[in-house]
Structure 1
Amino acid sequence: MSDTIAASTAASSGYTHTSNVDDAPTLIRSAADITRLVNQGATKLSDARIVVAIALGGVFLDAYDLGGLAFGMKDITRQFGLSPSGAGLVASAITLGAIVGALFGGYLTDKIGRYRVFMADMFFFVVAALACAFAPNEWVLGGSRFVMGIGVGIDLPVAMAFLAEFSKLSGRGNKASRVAMWCPTWYAAISISYLLVLLLYAVLPADKTDILWRLILGFGAVPALLIIAIRHRYMNESPVWTANQGDLEGAAAILRRSYNINVEVAADANLQPQPEVRKAAWSNYGELLKGIYLKRTILATVTSLVSPFAYNAVAFGLPVILSTFLKQSLMSTILFSLGLNLCFAFVGGLLAVRLVPKLGAWNMTLAGYALQLIAMVGLALVGRPADSAEAAISISMLALFLFGQGIGPGSHTMTFASLSYPTSLRGVGVGFNQILVRASSTASLFLFPVLSAALGTSVFWVIAFAPLAGLIVLLAIRWEPSGYDVDAEDFEPVKA
């Protein structure tokens, strides 16, 4: 049945497709043909999966830095004599930089291509990680994290574009699944940072633990250098973006190299009428608020504001919650944080990747927000635990929150941002989304130390408004990006 559909699609589009690389080549006549080939999953398992894995490198480094700094904030605050607001500024500097990076990164991703942006942004991570490790004061530390944030902001739009444009439309390993892979990658990085903290805490002399945060942040330069080397070896430009620029020969070459498809541009391709594809421009940010994209942007916007606000407050504040509210020792705090992330957030993210082709991003995000709302209300009602039973309930609520994040909004907020827009708008779409995500994260990272100091455990009532808002907008806008061929909107008129 699927072969019949594929053959019918090929015939109607005017290109010839052969599944055997040894037979006659697949003939390409338009950018739409390139998109359909990728969407049909015509890969022979060559470099495409490696490209997807490398695309997640920036996500890994972003999460690693967040997890490492979370354990170092107490020492940083003490060493530099920071007030709660000063600590909030240092913690949120990376997200401020990411806002700037996302603004330019989204535009550049669409303007000059995915590959060029991808190869340049990792140097921000290397320089900033080393500067953080040797920071003599809070100003240098905050400035270094701001520079790292620029790299993060540039990296996310191009990474999500690669994940979407090197994946097929449906089935296992589809676009929604691969975009959702950013979530378990994030939690794996958080867990690795916790493991590194645990290792260094065990081997460092007791009088040297105050340099722990420097070692953790500085070590981030090592995977960044490794990612640069691997990207140089394996990365190619997106064939879909290349074709949209009118370079069918270049797109075909990428398909041969990364997909191992025997593909050629038809001799009569230049004689075929080519649809005019939207060109990169700053004004494309405005296109996100027009026609069919308005509702999608509203949904992606609200989820992008509320999800990181709640998650960053809980994830970044997890060591504070465990050590202060739940009165755990440093070792117990590290172990509990590691266990909660691996057993609940990471597992939830893996389930999201596995189940989204069947259940859809909308359903899973709705379920995730519901679990988070229950968790925040539970934490607020328990308050500061008076005994071990109440402490166990609070830890269970934290686990429930992290599982809900992993299986729902943590994975699929990026799905809504990446797969709501076609290739011509994907860079600015994810860039705009990341501006909102980072603005929300900035507010969350700045406000959590202040609010927790002022409100204690009542801060959970404030955080509970985030998943509640997410539930409301999902029920109001029922848009399902998983399995939908959004890239076809660059070539075919779509009704609003």
Structure 2
Amino acid sequence: MPGSRSTPPVIRSAADVNHLINTGRAKGGKSRAITIIALGGIFIDAYDFSSIAFGLHDIATTFRLNPVEEGVVAASIMVGALLGALVGGYLVDRVGRYKMFMADMIFFVVAAIACAVAPNYELLTAARFVMGIGIGIDFPVALAFIAEFNALRGRGGKVSLWQPMWYLATGASFVVLLPLYFLMPADMHADMWRWAVGFGAVPALIVMLVRHKYMDESPAWAAGQGDLHRAAAILKNSYGLEVQVGEPDPNAPVVAPTKPAALKEFRRLFQGRYRVRTIQAAAVSALQSVQYYAVGFALPVIIASLLQQGRLTSIVGPLIFNLLFGVVGGLVGVRLSDRLGSWKLAMSGFAVCFVALIGLGALGQGSGIALLGIGGLLGLFVFFHAYGPGAQGMTIATLSYPTTLRGVGSGFGQAMLRIGSMVSLFFFPILSSALGTGVFYAVAVAPLLGMLVLAVIRWDPTHVDVDAETDEQPDAVRARAGHAESNDRSTTS
């Protein structure tokens, strides 16, 4: 790499820009703030998803919905998120991270207000669908920003921060509900969901303003488009790092920036070295989503039925589980990410979740001391889901592809996550009605399949510089800065 400590480094290609970021040469400045701001988008995503979960029963009563219509309301945001992830992931790579990052906030603000004042089932469903599109777009671009503004060492942990942020936001939705429970007359409790959902517009507006003030385009993306001067300006503005733009290396292959068709980009995910990575990321994302939405998203209903308590318990219970077990479990996973890697975290998390689900099925509703066991197993499930597969599905999907393919890869992982959530939200009520607490045995199939996939595909993107890979290299290039590991898991076992 040209340059020294006394003279500004010289960038002649996108590889030089990636090298500055991956090795930690470009650090400090606004990079930490940019990571936090990106996580702010994840907070809004999770808040909007979870804020309506508490009120689904009241929504069905208010609008006199039949079971199918109730399911459509619940699933509409998932369908929107699926569409947003697929289309948004492609657009993130094509038009840039920053433009999409700003545009998707409009979806959140407008949709949150529309949901809060929706006079009928049709408008509520449409607003939730629009909100889902915003979520589907925001998720892959937020994780791409985090990955592309942080050094390779510790990058996996920073990307995995999205998981504790998700649980923090889910808990926040119940924090909003708690004062409403005490301040609103009992005969107005059926409208609490409107206030909780509408409040989502407030953090969305704040994040939009902060993004406009502090965010910039990803320097890696700008360099990949051939605009090295813009990349240099971003490095100075975001990191305070002065660089010089040099003449291109005459011996380096010239790669002209292209804007390939969307279908071609998605096909790349299943070609060459990316095939097993995509299968693994898709499987972990979908299966962790199945188990989470069956248990985590349905916590208010599960707590109310298993612990046989009322409305207040269905607020306080999920609040405690999300903040105490979800946030803490996610932070423990982040702490161990650089040491253990994505594969070990996902595998061990799936294993404990499997045991917890089998235990919940065996205990049933229970009474007396058994209630403590049920509470403990629910906490164990939430903790290890957040610690392991909950975070690693999207972390693997984000870190397994180079900058030019990251948006599409992350978007596809997000799409698989949404498919898993739709499957879970559709079948969990049906199986729960038919099997009672035996439904947990059925849900346990998800982590079991997750372990089987991971046993076959042992790819781990932690410490791997995917931007340095070339078509001639059979294996991934591992960054040497601060790491002695050389075991590549890019092949199936």
* TM-score bracket, shorter-length normalisation: over 0.9
Aligned residues: 473
1:362 aligns with 2:343: yes
Tell me the residue number matched to 1:294: 275
**Alpha carbons 2:159, 2:395 under 8 Å: kept:** yes
**Structure 1: gaps (5+ residues):** 1-9
Q: Could you say which residue in structure 1 is the equivalent of 2:483?
A: none
Query: Aligned to 1:127, what secondary structure does the other structure show?
Result: helix
Contact between 1:105 and 1:431, CA under 8 Å: does it hold in 2? Answer: yes
Distance 1:297-1:331 versus aligned 2 partners, 3 A rule: same
Q: Distance in 2 between matches of 1:493 and 1:205?
A: 69
The residue that corresponds to 1:216 in the other structure is 196
- Contact kept? 2:321, 2:379, Cα under 8 Å: yes
Partner of 1:5: none
Q: TM-score, normalised by structure 1?
A: 0.93
**Whole-Å separation in 1 of the counterparts to 2:67 and 2:307:** 20
Distance of 1:168 and 1:362 partners within structure 2: 20
Displacement, 1:84? 2.8
Q: In structure 2, what residue type is equivalent to 1:97?
A: G
Offset of residue 273 of structure 1: 3.3
Query: For 2:357, what is the secondary structure of its paired residue?
Result: helix
The residue number in structure 2 matching 1:338 is 319
- Whole-Å Cα distance in 1 between the matches of residues 248 and 449 of structure 2? 50
* Cα deviations by residue, 1:277-320 (Å, 9 ceiling, x for unpaired): 67342101001101111111111111111110110111121110
Quote the Cα distance in structure 2 between the aligned partners of 1:323 and 1:78. 18
1:393 aligns with 2:373: yes
Q: 1:230 is matched by which residue type in structure 2?
A: V
CA contact (8 A) 1:80 1:138 kept: yes
Q: 1:157-172 maps to which residues of 2 (within 5 A)?
A: 157-170=140-153
Q: Tell me how far apart the structure 2 counterparts of residues 270 and 36 of structure 1 sit (CA, whole Å).
A: 15
Instruction: Deviation per CA, 1:41-96: give whole Å up to 9, x if none.
Output: 12352111111111122311121123221111121111122233322221111010
Deviation string for 1:415-449 (max 9, x for gaps)? 11001111111011011111111111112122222
- Rounded Cα–Cα distance in structure 2 between residues aligned with 1:449 and 1:279: 46
Instruction: Look up the match of 1:3.
Output: none
Unaligned runs of 5+ in 2: 476-493
Q: Tell me the equivalent position of 1:86.
A: 69
Alignment partner of 2:206 out of 226, 233, 244: 226
TM-score (structure 2 length as normaliser): 0.93
Query: What residue is the counterpart of 1:62 in the other structure?
Result: 45
**Structure 1 equivalent of residue 424 of structure 2:** 444
Residue 476 of structure 1 is matched in structure 2 by 456
**Counterpart AA for 1:262:** E
Aligned to 2:233: 253
Any idea what the Cα deviations from partners look like across 1:144-183, whole Å, max 9, x if unmatched?
100000001111121111011001011xxx2101110100
Q: Which residue of 2 aligns with 1:99?
A: 82
Match of 2:94 among 108, 111, 130: 111
> What corresponds to 1:279 in structure 2?
258
**C-alpha RMSD over aligned residues:** 1.5
Single out whichever of 281-290 and 50-59 deviates more from structure 2: 50-59
User: Does the 8 A contact of 1:30 with 1:274 survive in 2?
Assistant: no
Q: How does 1:407-422 map to 2 (within 5 A)?
A: 407-422=387-402
CA contact (8 A) 1:277 1:424 kept: no
Q: Residue by residue, what CA displacement relative to the aligned partner does 1:177-215 show, whole Å, maximum 9, x if unpaired?
A: 111010011011011111111111111111211110000
Query: Residues 492 and 241 from structure 1, CA distance in 2 versus in 1: closer, same or farther, beyond 3 angstroms?
Result: farther
Q: How far apart, in 2, do the equivalents of 1:494 and 1:132 lie?
A: 51
The aligned residue for residue 424 of structure 1 is: 404
Letter in 2 for 1:16: G
Q: Structure 1 residue 326: deviation in Å?
A: 2.1
Secondary structure class of the residue paired with 2:10: strand
Contact kept in structure 1, 2:27 and 2:150, CA below 8 Å: no
Question: 1:344 aligns to what SS in structure 2?
Answer: helix
Q: Secondary structure of the residue that 2:130 maps to in structure 1?
A: helix
Q: State the partner residue of 2:110.
A: 127
SS at match of 1:169: coil
Specify the alignment match of 1:137 in structure 2. 120
CA contact (8 A) 1:88 1:447 kept: no
Contact 1:366 1:474 in 2 (8 A): yes
Quote the sequence identity (%).
Answer: 47
Superposed counterparts of 1:176-255, under 5 Å: 176-255=156-235
SS of match in other structure, 1:374: helix
Is contact 1:85–1:449 with CA below 8 Å preserved after alignment? no
Is residue 71 of structure 1 aligned with residue 59 of structure 2?
no
Deviations 1:429-485 (A, max 9, x none): 011111111111112122222322232212111111100000000111111111111
Q: Could you say if the C-alpha distance between residues 318 and 54 of structure 1 is closer, same or farther in structure 2, counting changes exceeding 3 Å?
A: same
Matched, 1:381 2:362: yes
Shift in alpha-carbon separation, 1:155–1:429, aligned structure 2, 3 A: same
The residue identity in structure 1 corresponding to 2:231 is: A
Provide the residue aligned with 2:302 in structure 1. 321
CA distance in 1, matches of 2:10, 2:411: 34
User: How far is the alpha carbon of 1:271 from its aligned partner?
Assistant: 5.0
Matched to 2:315, the amino acid is I
Aligned partners of 2:228 and 2:245 also within 8 Å: yes
> Do the aligned residues in 1 keep the contact of 2:45 with 2:139 (CA within 8 Å)?
no
User: Following TM superposition, by how much is the alpha carbon of 1:274 offset from its aligned partner in structure 2, in angstroms?
Assistant: 4.5
Secondary structure of residue in 2 paired with 1:56? helix
8 A Cα contact 1:279 1:424, kept in partner: no
The residue identity in structure 1 corresponding to 2:265 is N
8 Å CA contact 2:14–2:228 kept in 1: the answer is yes
